[in-house]
Structure 1
Amino acid sequence: MTTAKDLFIIAMDQQPNQSVGQGDLSLALAGAELIDLIGLEAVALDGDSIVPGGQPTLDDPLLGEASSALARQVPYERIEDWLWRRGRDLSAAYQAALEADGQLARGRSGRMLFGAERVELVDSPARRDALSRREADEPVLAALAAVVGMQSGASEEELSLDDEAVTTVLAVVNDAVMELEAVRQRRSIEKAAFSNVWRGP
């Protein structure tokens, strides 16, 4: 399993009152894919730019899609731009992939994640591995979980990340999620102001 799939699984395993926003999770999933590609030496970072390396054979179709989507000509894509481009509707893509793999099932007792249908995690080795990784506070997964507001995520002070590239990606993911929240708040304020205008004094 990839870091992104593990992240999606632990997001699904959250209590309903701790649910993760679709946009936040999509950005974090794109960051998780990039971190896995760094680990596979499929990419490297030059400052905040993503420099593609070799194209390893990837067993995971979504990670393969991520690798194929990399900009392979100068100027290379910045991490932030990659997150917004690759992250568009990525959480829905992971939901569909996990359903196709039999990791998610539809049912009345499940959660309404990003659509009208209720889905729930199937008890599987993949789920157990993801939850074990969370319980072990694996640093990268814990950091991504913290960024999207899962209570299981460790704080930055508790993390021991000695990989500068991974740390850079995590910082950019955090900034992107904060930017998304700022946009949400601004829209909420604008909507409230518009409603007040129509209500009148």
Structure 2
Amino acid sequence: MTTAHDLTFVSLDVPSEYPVERGDLSLALAGAELIDLLAAGTVALDGLVLRPVSPGGSGDRLLDAAASQAGQEPDESVTDWLWRRGDGLAAQYLAAAGADDGGRRRPLWNVRRAADRPAPADPSARDRATDRWADGDPVLVGLAAAVGVRHETADQAADPEDDRIATVLAAVHDAVVELATTRQRRSIEEAAFDNVWRGM
């Protein structure tokens, strides 16, 4: 399994103060894919720009799809990749995890009883994600923090030693903040519009 699959299980299984927003999760999943592609040498970073290196396959359908897209756009930045690849990505990973929620905006699997959770096709997948989370893996903890899932050691977690990973994590955090700002602005605009109609 991949970091993105592990992040999907964490977002579903680990209780968080607020439900994980699907858009936030999509951005973080795109970042998780990119981190795995960098680690595999499939893509490289030239500053903040993605460069294709080797198209080798991973054996994972979703990660291989990401590999086929990485670095193909001219001078695509990490941030641009997150927005392009992340479009609708959460739905694909939720379906792969056996947690297709019928298109609901927020996956709320983490509030269900364990017995009600659908089992993944590979039963070891959740165990791997759980073990990685329990070990405080800095990549998984960093990505989960971006979508609002906190690990008990999150504030003390060491920064990743790999500058490329740190670059991706920072871009994910910035993109999630930007999305939250956009979401808030739209909410304010919709509320103002409703007030105008009420006053007429």
What is the TM-score with the length of structure 1 in the denominator? 0.85
- Inter-CA distance 121–159: structure 2 relative to 1 (3 Å threshold): farther
Counterpart for residue 97 of structure 2: 98
Q: SS state of the match for residue 134, structure 1?
A: helix
Output the aligned Cα RMSD.
Answer: 2.3
**Is 1:120 matched with 2:140?**
no
Unmatched 5+ stretches in structure 2: none
Counterpart for residue 109 of structure 1: none
Number of aligned residue pairs: 188
Q: Distance in 2 between matches of 1:23 and 1:197?
A: 29
Q: SS state of the match for residue 97, structure 2?
A: helix
Q: List 4+ stretches of structure 1 deviating above 6 A.
A: none
Matched ranges for 1:27-176 at <5 A: 27-72=27-72, 75-99=74-98, 104=99, 113=107, 120-122=117-119, 124-152=123-151, 154-155=153-154, 157-176=156-175
Q: Distance in 1 between matches of 2:199 and 2:150?
A: 42
- Inter-CA distance 189–167: structure 2 relative to 1 (3 Å threshold): same
Any idea what the Cα deviations from partners look like across 1:55-107, whole Å, max 9, x if unmatched?
1121101000000112336x3311111101100110101122233xxxx588x
- Assess if the C-alpha contact under 8 Å between 1:145 and 1:153 holds in 2: no
What is the TM-score with the length of structure 2 in the denominator? 0.85
Would you tell me which structure has more strand in proportion to its own residues? 1
- Inter-CA distance 26–105: structure 2 relative to 1 (3 Å threshold): closer
Shift of 1:15: 3.2
Structure 1 vs Structure 2: percent identity of aligned residues?
46
- Inter-CA distance 183–153: structure 2 relative to 1 (3 Å threshold): farther
- Inter-CA distance 24–160: structure 2 relative to 1 (3 Å threshold): same
